[in-house]
Chains A and B, each alone.
Chain A
Amino acid sequence: MDTSMLLVVGLLMTAIAYIAGRGRSISVASGVGGVKNLNSLPFYYGALTALWCGIPSFLLLAIWAIFDDYFISQIVVQELPEHVKNMSESELGLLMNTVVNTAQNSSLGLSSEPHILQAAERLRGLEQTNQMAMTVAFISAGIIMMMATWLRIKSNMPARVHVEHAFKWLLLGSACVAIFTTVGIVLSVLFESLRFFQSVPVTDFLFGLQWSPQMAIRADQVGGSGAFGAVPLFAGTMLISMIAMLIAVPTGLMAAIYLAEYAHPKVRSTIKPVLEVLAGVPTVVYGFFAALTVAPVLRDTGSLIGLDVSSESALAAGLVMGVMIIPFVSSLSDDVITAVPQSLRDGSFGLGATHSETIKKVVIPAALPGIVGGVLLAVSRAIGETMIVVMAAGLAAHLTMNPLESVTTVTVQIVKTLVGDQEFNSPKTLSAFALGLMLFTVTLVLNFIALQVVKKYREQYE
């Protein structure tokens, strides 16, 4: 049986173990006067048997599947003729590849050398044996564990405690998935970045004021030598994010205050979902709204009052991005403001404070951690946003603080360097990873600072 088939069989076995364990506990129970005299409910005995059957056998299968290739190829290599065995490692690897391919499909005629054909034959034989052994080991492990647990079921066996314990480990494992994924992402970005920094000095990248990543791939090609100064990109990102936050934070916060404090419940239940629809609009749609509607309006208005506004401006991108993230700020803030206990408001009203004084001095301070959380989420969205910027703010890396000019952002450049044909040894491609690492670091630092700020200023109600 192949491995995917074994998985199905394993699940089947586990299901049988559940039924067997459950049945066993019920029959044990009839000997001691009914299910009520069991230590745990029959469900727990079934679950425990299933766990004992499933977990060890699947673990065995996993370990076996990970290591069997290595051992099999070791055996095959050992049996190769002396002169072949003494070849360098990379040559040996190539040869083993040929052997594997030949073994899988001998009609290809990849090689006619007798020692390769012989090795391929041997490999095929070994693999068949291995698969057989794996099937037998897997199934017998499952059955043995099932039987062992089945025999151990007694009326006083604390199955519930064991199952609860296993459940706790399952939850822990789920929590770890997110953490390990993050670590994995960081590591992969980190290693590619290190390769980038081998060809471009870190200082040039961090402090260079020029970004033009075009590089000649072949020596005879016409092309730039490449300049990898990330400052213009980060300046552009900061500029656009800042404009977006200037729009989103006041508007979102005030919308949230209106919804939570002043709006009639009926109004609230209508407006809130409508506001949240904004969050569901694809960013591409926002992108062409920015590029085709907002940017021309800005340019025309600018020319009316004698300002030179470029047709792709940071302002257009920032404005539309700001509108896009309003729901992030408003929805989360609304939730935390609503969660502030009514007793605090009553206390403030009882002292003669007006509604707005109460909001300013009691409700907002109490809701601050949640509000900052919403703002942080919005900032991350703004920094990570790509489509709007590509369409509305342009691709040219200008180092400017003037919102009327076109700028570009880190994410846009990452996309730009990674689309189309590319070579993974060229600094141009690798620069994307360095940019990603920088972006990651910046958002991490921002988060950290915000958390510290919240810790300092939070006013905790119970």
Chain B
Amino acid sequence: MEAVIQKKSEKQGIDEVMPSNEPQDIQVGDKTVGKPFADNPKMAMRNVNVHYGDKQAIFDVNLDIAKNEVIAMIGPSGCGKSTFLRCLNRMNDTIESCRVTGQFILDDQDIYHPKQDIVPLRARVGMVFQKPNPFPKSIYENVAYGPKIHGLASRRVELDEIVEVSLRKAGLWEEVKDRLHSAGTGLSGGQQQRLCIARSIAVSPEVILMDEPCSALDPIATAKIEELIAELKQNFTIAIVTHSMQQAARVSDRTAYFHLGKLIEVNDTKRVFTNPEHDLTEAYITGRFG
């Protein structure tokens, strides 16, 4: 009870400092509404709290990610959706002040268990970043990087095949097959991002996390990535953070709405965008703030 009170006061504190035009009359509530749980979860997160130093960024989030689904995370800037996403493959470990508590289960395995090795974890849960970040190496070397460090190919022929398959899956093969050995940084922004997707596919992950993968791309490149996400769904589980509600509506099966570090509502995407359960979600998707 005490904890709840403290949380509330902290939340109000944030409200006071943030000059926002958001509706003051809507209650945030402590419970996530909708369907945060799934029958066949690939990943299950329970009671997740994240602190940066003294500041709490995520409050008591419970969420399942089902097998082979695309879940979109939306919400205004600073709502904690990227932070939450980065917890899923422990990318926040590199940030010193960041403290993560709660349970993260990937196929019955606790990924924050002290004995958990993050190397195989990150091979199973891949990540695509906001800004395309190909290594300053050739296109081939970019894709071969992951398989090489995980020892996935013992012979050159196998490696060649992994590279080709990954580039095909990322829809980039036809465009780059004649210049595999030229620099990856020489590609256009959209191609670079697809190269980064191919790079993470190459280590055969089970889950792919995408942190605003299209925010640095033009509409045509964005359309290509969205098409790609629809195809990747066959083989991978995908969690995508996006600022574009249209994008969330186009690509995802379920949508999770975050607000000031709390998970407000999770529902089927159609439901969220046509008939949201929570008033805050409705306020956000209708553009009353954000």
Contact = CB atoms under 8 A, between A and B. Distances in A.
A448 to B, nearest CB: 24
Contacts of A350: 89, 91, 122, 126-127, 129, 200
Interface in B100-130: 118-123, 126-127, 129
Given A347-B129, A462-B185, A352 B122 contact: yes
Interface string B132-148: 01111100000001100
Given A351-B146, A351-B149, A343 B123 contact: no
Contacts of B129: 343, 346-347, 350
A348 B145 contact: yes
B149 A341 contact: no
Given A349-B94, A351-B199, A354-B119, A362 B135 contact: yes
Contacts of A354: 119, 149
Contacts, number: 74
Given A361-B149, A460-B183, A347 B91 contact: no
Interface range for A:
20 to 34
Contacts of A365: 136-137
B133 A341 contact: yes
A353 to B, nearest CB: 5
Contacts of B134: 347
B131 A351 contact: no
B196 A346 contact: no
A352 B136 contact: no
A300 interface: no
B203 interface: yes
A461 B200 contact: no
Among A343, A345, A351, A357, residue most surrounded by chain B Cβ atoms (within 10 Å): A351
B119 A347 contact: no
Contacts of B135: 344, 347-348, 362, 366, 459
A347 B136 contact: no
Interface residues of B, number: 28
Contact of A352 (B137, B185, B196, B203): B203
Contact of A460 (B94, B136, B149): B136
Contacts of B183: 459-460
Contact of A351 (B94, B123, B137, B185): B123
B139 to A, nearest CB: 13
Contacts of A352: 118-123, 146, 149-150, 203
Nearest to B142: A347
B193 to A, nearest CB: 12
Contacts of A346: 91, 94, 127, 129, 133
B91 A349 contact: yes
Contacts of B91: 346, 349-350
Contact of B133 (A343, A361, A459): A343
A343 B149 contact: no
B126 A351 contact: yes
A351 B200 contact: yes
A365 B136 CA distance: 8
Interface in A335-378: 341, 343-354, 357, 361-362, 365-366
Contacts of A343: 129, 131, 133
Interface in B182-234: 183, 185, 196, 199-200, 203
Nearest to A358: B149
A33 to B, nearest CB: 41
Contacts of B185: 460-462
B89 to A, nearest CB: 7
A423 B183 CA distance: 60
A347 B149 contact: no
Given A461-B185, A462-B185, A351 B136 contact: no
Contact of A357 (B89, B94, B149): B149
A362 B135 CA distance: 7
A351 B203 contact: yes
Contact of B196 (A347, A353, A460): A347
Contacts of B94: 345-346, 349
Nearest to A353: B149
A154 B149 CA distance: 71
A312 B104 CA distance: 66
A45 to B, nearest CB: 45
A461 B123 contact: no
A368 B126 CA distance: 28
Among B118, B121, B135, residue most surrounded by chain A Cβ atoms (within 10 Å): B135
Contacts of A459: 135-137, 183
Given A351-B123, A351-B149, A461 B118 contact: no
A343 B192 CA distance: 13
Contacts of A345: 94
Contacts of A347: 129, 133-135, 196, 199
A340 to B, nearest CB: 9
A354 B120 CA distance: 10
A341 B183 CA distance: 17
Nearest to A361: B145
Contacts of B131: 343
A460 B185 CA distance: 8
Nearest to B183: A460
Contacts of B146: 351-353
A349 B122 contact: yes
Contacts of B196: 347
A459 B138 CA distance: 9
Nearest to B124: A352
Among A347, A348, A353, A354, residue most surrounded by chain B Cβ atoms (within 10 Å): A347
B89 A366 contact: no
A355 to B, nearest CB: 9
A370 to B, nearest CB: 13
Interface in B22-79: none
A187 to B, nearest CB: 41
A351 B145 contact: yes
Contacts of B127: 346, 350
A114 B121 CA distance: 105
Contacts of A461: 136, 185
A353 B164 CA distance: 21
Interface string B219-259: 00000000000000000000000000000000000000000
A460 B149 CA distance: 22
A347 B146 CA distance: 10
A459 B183 CA distance: 8
A62 B137 CA distance: 56
Contacts of A366: 135-136
Given A346-B94, A350-B91, 7 more contacts: A344-B135, A350-B129, A352-B118, A352-B121, A352-B146, A366-B135, A459-B136
11 contacts: A344-B136, A346-B129, A347-B134, A348-B145, A350-B129, A351-B203, A352-B121, A352-B146, A352-B149, A353-B146, A460-B183
Q: Report, nearest first, the 4 A-B pairs whose CB atoms are least far apart.
A: A459-B136, A352-B122, A350-B127, A343-B133
